[in-house]
Amino acid sequence: MARLKEKGRAIEFRKRGLSYNEILRRVPVAKSTLSLWLRSVRLAKRQKQKLTAKKLAGALRGAKERRRQRQVITERIKKKAREEIGKINKRELGLIGITLYWAEGSKQKEYNPSEKVIFTNSDPKMIRFFLRWLKEICNIEPKDITFYIDIHKTADGERAKRYWSRITNLPLGKFQKITWKKHKIKTKRKNVGKNYYGLLRMKVKRSTSLNRKIMGWIEGICKNI
């Protein structure tokens, strides 16, 4: 008799639109038993919609919790990694800047042996670091650098100027040179939103010899690594 009563309660809960887990919290039976009891229960459209909404809400809660856990793990890893770096001395600063230019800077070629020091990037941290490297390692001041913004025609040039001025802590007047890129309608670019500020290209004046020196530093790294 008690079993029949539990089955009746389970069927009634199901007809109200409760999920299996919700029913199991109210009717303590095995899930296989509950599935057997409810397999012939047909739900009205409203109940089906209610269950679908519950499943969606549950999935969203689960996704949100997994995202929170990933953020916690990520921050823990990054914190440990930051502590491992410690204080950077001038020699290390110099070597980091050399390898950075090796990756991102303009190199002199046989057909163009007079290339100046030119560094282009969109990462604000990298831009700030390179400016510091130029000043502390190469004795290059901002007055010796010409700044260009490379940006697509669909972007806000004035906004980009203000952004790079703020990032570099330099006057707005330093960022008046803009190279506009032609926009392709069928583009797969991701950098098309409001946070797109183009690339900042820094060209050091009268820097042919400095570029040759940097190439020598790079060769020295390769030789002594």
Q: Helix (H, G, I), strand (E, B), or coil: what is residue 45?
A: helix
Give 5 or 78, the one with higher predicted confidence.
78
**Which of 63 and 91 is assigned the larger pLDDT?**
91
Could you read off the pLDDT of 188-217 as tens digits, one per residue? 656 667 889 999 999 999 999 999 999 999
Quote the pLDDT of residue 30: 81
Please answer whether residues 179 and 151 qualify as being in contact, where contact means their C-beta atoms are separated by less than 8 angstroms.
yes
The confidence score (pLDDT) of residue 48 equals 61
154: burial class by Cβ within 10 Å (0-12, 13-18, 19+)?
middle
Q: Determine the pLDDT at residue 192.
A: 64
What average pLDDT score do residues 62-77 get?
Answer: 89
Q: What tokens were used for 162? A: 């203000």
- Alpha helix locations (H) across 1-44? 2-15, 20-26, 31-38
- pLDDT reported for residue 54: 72
The predicted model gives 81-94 an average pLDDT of 94
C-beta of residue 223 within 8 angstroms of C-beta of residue 170:
no
For the stretch 169-173, contacts whose Cβ atoms lie closer than 8 Å and that sit 24 or more positions apart, written own/partner, are 170/142
The Cβ of residue 2 has, within 10 Å, a number of other Cβ atoms equal to 6
Question: 183 — phi, psi (to 5°)?
Answer: -90, 135
pLDDT tens digits for 103-156? 999 988 777 778 999 999 999 999 999 999 999 999 999 999 999 999 998 889
- Categorize the per-residue pLDDT at 3 as very low, low, confident or very high, splitting at 50, 70 and 90: confident
Query: Which of 160, 132, 157 shows the shortest CA–CA distance to 145?
Result: 132
Q: What is the pLDDT of residue 56?
A: 72
User: What pLDDT digit, counting tens, does each position of 7-66 carry?
Assistant: 777 777 777 767 777 777 777 778 787 777 777 676 655 666 666 767 777 777 878 888
**How many residues would you count in the chain?**
225
Cα–Cα dist 128/175, whole Å = 15
Place of tokens 């060769």: 219
